Amino acid sequence: MEYKPPFSINDNIINLLAQISELVGQVSVLHKDSISPKLRRENRIKTIHSSLAIEHNSLSLEQVTAVLNGKRILGAPQEIKEVQNAYEAYEIMLSLNPLDIEDLLKAHKLMMDNLVKENGVFRSGGVGVFEGEKLIHAAPPAKFVPQLIADLFEWYTKSELHILIKSCIFHYEFEFIHPFADGNGRMGRMWHTLLLSQWNELFAWLPIEELIRERQQEYYDALAAADKKADCSEFVEMMLKIIYDALAELNQTDQVSDHVTDQVKLLLECMGRDELSATQIMERLELSHRPTFRQNYLHPALDMGLIEMTIPDKPKSRNQKYRRK
């Protein structure tokens, strides 16, 4: 019986497909030569930090950066090892064939080396996804995993759906199968990136994981809804929105990067898509001197129109917060 993922297309998905395709064209023109090595490295570090943070790694972006720069930090050895492993896996990502099962196992071995006994092999036992103590997804029995993955790869190869759509379906199906004893989330997200990079290499440097982390509950809710409805359309739509927003952010960053200071860039990075008070932003920046913060970070970002007040008619309101435009 031919493998057929549970999916039905809708108008929102069609519109997102068109919008993303247009934005990919715009960003590709801006980066017609290549994304700068500095931006590539920064985005790769964001990707690793975010993907591991989703899996409860507590290291900050600054600590992850320090680890990858060869510096010693105070942190749990296992969390440091997770960072080092993820970096090695992403470093070889573009040399992998996303539809070769041996390459999938090779990447998992790098990702989970010395973290789990069953690294580089499919799981031998049962696994589930838990929210606290509540089981929200019981994966198929281990004996079915090799065939399920083979069927998924074959479906992807033969499917005539647009790669943006079928890569999202692949992501959902991969998480449903949960082929490994551990590391399924980080592998599924990396493999999604690899599939997209086959369409356009700029996706190899797009920190989609950063936005998934910011919308982590929505991500898990969409996975659960797809299981319950036996239709992954909601998950596909959510992932397409994330891809669009990540592209839009890269497009905006590229256009403003030559005109803003390092301090403003850091402020925009630490704010993400959250609404934050001045105190909360200072805490994220690890700053304690308010006049310096306002002069070098907050006011320049406001003056350039990169951030805005949530209560613009009352600039000094005690409830004032700021968000990226």
Per-residue pLDDT, 272: 86
What kind of fold does domain 262-324 have according to CATH?
Arc Repressor Mutant, subunit A (1.10.10)
Please list, in sequence order, all residues whose beta carbon lies within 8 angstroms of the beta carbon of residue 147, skipping any fewer than 6 positions away. Answer: none
Question: Which CATH number is 11-256's, of 2.60.120.380, 1.10.3720.10, 3.40.1190.20, 1.10.3290.10?
Answer: 1.10.3290.10
Q: Where are the alpha helices (DSSP H) in 200-285?
A: 208-214, 216-229, 233-256, 262-271, 278-285
Per-residue pLDDT, 8: 86
Query: Would the CATH topology of 11-256 be identical to that of 262-324?
Result: no
* 8 A C-beta contact, residue 290 and residue 309: no
Find, among 273, 325, 274, 320, the residue nearest to 301 by Cα: 325
Per-residue pLDDT, 35: 60
pTM: 0.76
Secondary structure element (H or E) that encloses residue 322, with its range: strand 322-324
Three-class DSSP labels, 77-123: HHHHHHHHHHHHHHHCHHHCCCCCHHHHHHHHHHHHCCCCCCCCCCC
Tens digit of each residue's pLDDT, the chain (325 residues): 567 788 888 999 999 999 999 888 877 766 555 566 777 888 899 999 999 999 999 999 999 999 999 999 999 999 999 999 999 999 999 999 999 999 999 999 999 999 999 999 999 999 877 766 777 778 899 999 999 999 999 999 999 999 999 999 999 999 999 999 999 999 999 999 999 999 998 898 888 888 899 898 899 889 888 988 889 999 999 999 999 988 887 766 554 455 568 888 889 988 988 899 999 999 999 898 888 899 889 998 998 888 999 999 998 899 999 999 8
Domain spans of the chain? 11-256, 262-324
